[in-house]
């Protein structure tokens, strides 16, 4: 619903005080700065020392100095900005009143150019709740209007003549309902919390975890109910664990995502989901999935899943900042799902399968980087992907590496089909040669489409949505099962 605006707020002369976190922007700059600091040990240690010596105000200043936000890309609420513009046009004084550090508040005020003054936290003085109210009353010297969002703003709303509620928390909403006649502005949450959390968990990415069934497929154990049940449990545990990892990854990548054409719509980057709630959900998902892995499946699978968390954490905080290392890590993370399936079902994957997987997923990882580089449209060859060590001038090099690894995966597949291992497993192994041209077609078609900008951000998501890709998958599965189930060629003579 559109924001509710009371006509009585049209009166000129009443000072307007506007909160920053959760009100002017959908997010919390201090929480985001702390999340960024976790990637830099020097910044994090300085922040910790500042907190021990100067409390919250000292922590906020240390974070503002070491990991300041890019104020040009913060998720400003359009309704609030327009409300401020209207107040300015009426000749009212508008003040940014926030518990955020003054360094950041001043940067926001300078960027928007809408505020006459700034009240904010400074070392030794955390401007929140009652402290903010005193500062506002000293500056206003009369009736004032306040726009806020949380329970910490209740004392200020009680003292204000007019009150604006922006995506209010439950206690704040109760405060609004007590005196609806005093409400000057009401802006609902853009996205419900449950919806934002589910989107951040990326359930569409769970399709990647069907890789845990690959050992079952190639061992042809899909007729064993106990093995299939173990595979289902492994799929669920891996999916919940992966969602927890996605939450942490998106929290760390907030600033980089905001500079991306589509990733800026992710729940954390857009401010639809708070970092605090995201971390809580991530803890529940990661802890719950690992415990379930040990209890419901077996110790080996639990250890493999725990190792996956370690590897993804290393990728999130460190590995993805290094070119080549990041794509190799991504390839390993995909292949790890196959190893997890093997651990859950006690079905050892063949070296052929693991070799093919590494080359194939390395090709897809390079495709992901190629898409990001190609979408930059950078005229400066020194332009760099945010939070990645890839430059615009390297786009053709990445393309070459990706196609080469795709070709190596097809070559590995052909060698496997021609190996003695196949004859020992399949009754009609010659049928498996049909898979080779299909995979050649899919890999080169997908790379061609990537060069045309038709893949999107994620090649795996494209494969799930693409009709021809789905047909290829069904065909490959049918050939594998047929080569196992059909009688040998000599039986037809």
pLDDT by residue (tens digit) across 244-269?
A: 999 999 998 898 889 888 889 999 99
Give me the mean pLDDT over the 261-278 stretch.
Answer: 91
Per-residue model confidence as pLDDT tens digits over 193-250: 999 999 999 998 898 899 999 999 988 898 899 999 999 999 999 999 999 999 999 9
pLDDT tens-place string over residues 134-193: 999 999 978 999 999 999 999 999 999 999 999 999 999 999 998 888 999 999 988 999
Any idea which residue has 């065909």 for tokens?
475
CA distances to 177, 333, 379, 401, 485 from 382, in Å: 54, 30, 9, 20, 56
Fold of 194-492: Farnesyl Diphosphate Synthase (1.10.600)
SS3 assignment for the chain: CCCEECHHHHCCCCEEEECCECCCECCCHHHHHHHHHCCCHHHHHHHHHHHHHHHHHHHHHHHHHHCCCCHHHCCECHHHHHHHHHHHHCCCCEEEEEEEEHHHHHHHHHHHCCCCEEEEEECCECCCCHHHHHHHHHHHCCCEEEEECCHHHHHHHHHCCEEEEECCCHHHHHHHHHCHHHEEEEECCCCCHHHHHHHHHCHHHHHHHHHHHHHHHHHCCCCCHHHHHHHHHHHHHHHHHHHHHHHHHHHHCHHHHHCCCCHHHCHHHHCCCCHHHHHHHHHHHHHHHHHHHHHHHCHHHHHHHHHHHHHHHHHHHCHHHCCCHHHHHHHHHHHHHHHHHHHHHCCCCCHHHHHHHHHHHHHHHHHHHHHHHHCCCCCCCCCECCCCCCEHHHHHHHHHHHHHHHHHHHHHHHHHHCCHHHHHHCCCHHHHHHHHHHHHHHHHHHHHHHHCCCCCCCHHHHHHHCHHHHHHHHHHHHHHHHHHHCCCHHHHC
Half-sphere exposure (Cβ direction) of 159: Cα atoms closer than 13 Å: 19
Average confidence (pLDDT) over 476-484: 93
Asked if 259 and 73 count as a contact pair (C-beta separation under 8 A), the reply is yes
Nearest Cα to Cα of residue 23 among 83, 67, 70, 111: 83
Domain ranges of the chain: 4-190, 194-492
Fold observed for domain 4-190: Rossmann fold (3.40.50)
Per-chain mean pLDDT for the chain: 90
Distances (CA, A) of 115 to 6, 23, 60, 79, 289: 22, 15, 22, 16, 48
Q: Is residue 360 within 8 Å of 335, Cβ to Cβ? A: no
Q: First-to-last CA distance in the chain?
A: 74
In this predicted model, what pLDDT tens digit does every residue of 281-303 receive, in sequence order?
999 999 999 999 999 999 999 99
Mean pLDDT of 83-104: 95
Using CA atoms, how far apart are residues 131 and 117, in angstroms rounded to an integer? 17
| Cα-trace Rg, the chain | 28
Per-residue confidence band for 373, with pLDDT thresholds at 50, 70 and 90: confident
The mean pLDDT of 467-474, rounded to a whole number, is 94
When pLDDT is cut at 50, 70 and 90, the band that residue 473 belongs to is very high
pLDDT tens-place string over residues 380-428: 666 777 667 788 888 899 999 999 999 999 999 999 999 888 888 898 9
Work out the pLDDT band at 375, boundaries 50, 70, 90.
Answer: confident
Length of the chain: 493
Structure tokens at 273: 């989901």
Cα gap 424→420, rounded to integer Å: 7
**pLDDT for residue 384:** 79
């Amino acid at each position: 619903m559109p924001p509710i605006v009371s006509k009585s707020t049209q009166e000129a002369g009443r000072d307007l005080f506007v909160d920053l976190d959760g009100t002017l922007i959908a997010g919390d700059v201090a929480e985001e700065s702390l999340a960024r600091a976790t990637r830099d040990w020097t910044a994090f240690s300085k922040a910790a020392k500042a907190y021990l010596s100067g409390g919250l105000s000292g922590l906020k200043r240390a974070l503002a100095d070491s990991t300041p936000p890019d104020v040009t890309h913060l998720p400003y609420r359009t309704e609030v900005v327009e409300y401020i513009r209207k107040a300015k046009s009426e000749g009212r004084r508008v003040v940014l009143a926030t518990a955020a550090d003054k360094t950041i508040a001043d940067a926001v005020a300078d960027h928007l150019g809408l505020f006459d003054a700034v009240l904010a936290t400074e070392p030794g003085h955390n401007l929140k709740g009652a402290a903010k109210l005193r500062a506002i009353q000293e500056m206003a010297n009369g009736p004032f209007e306040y726009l806020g969002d949380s329970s910490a703003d209740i004392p200020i709303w009680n003292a204000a003549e007019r009150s604006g509620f922006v995506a209010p928390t439950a206690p704040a909403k109760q405060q609004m309902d007590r005196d609806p006649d005093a409400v000057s502005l009401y802006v609902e949450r853009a996205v419900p919390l449950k919806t934002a959390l589910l989107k951040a968990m990326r359930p569409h990415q769970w399709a990647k975890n069907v890789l845990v069934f690959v050992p079952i497929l190639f061992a042809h154990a899909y007729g064993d109910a106990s093995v299939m049940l173990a595979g289902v449990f492994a799929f669920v545990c891996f999916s919940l664990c992966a969602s927890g990892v996605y939450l942490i990854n998106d929290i760390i990548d907030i600033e980089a995502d905001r500079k991306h054409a589509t990733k800026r719509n992710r729940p954390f980057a857009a401010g639809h989901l708070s970092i605090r709630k995201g971390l809580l959900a991530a803890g529940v998902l990661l802890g719950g999935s690992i415990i379930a892995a040990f209890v419901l499946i077996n110790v080996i699978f639990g250890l493999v899943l725990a190792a996956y968390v370690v590897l993804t954490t290393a990728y999130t905080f460190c590995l993805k900042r290094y070119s080549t290392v990041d794509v190799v890590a991504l390839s390993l993370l995909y292949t790890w799902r196959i190893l997890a399936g093997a651990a859950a079902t006690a079905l050892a994957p063949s070296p052929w399968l693991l070799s093919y997987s590494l080359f194939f997923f390395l090709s897809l990882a390079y495709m992901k980087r190629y898409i990001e580089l190609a979408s930059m449209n950078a005229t400066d060859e020194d332009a760099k992907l945010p939070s990645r060590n890839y430059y615009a001038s390297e786009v053709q090099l990445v393309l070459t590496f990706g196609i080469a690894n795709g070709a190596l995966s097809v070559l590995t597949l052909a060698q496997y089909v021609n190996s003695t291992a196949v004859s020992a497993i399949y009754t009609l192994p010659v049928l498996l040669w049909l898979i080779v041209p299909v995979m050649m077609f899919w890999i080169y078609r997908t790379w061609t489409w990537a060069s045309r900008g038709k893949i999107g951000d994620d090649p795996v998501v494209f494969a799930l949505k693409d009709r021809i890709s789905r047909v290829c998958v069904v065909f490959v599965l049918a050939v594998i099962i047929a080569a196992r189930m059909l009688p040998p060629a000599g039986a037809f003579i």
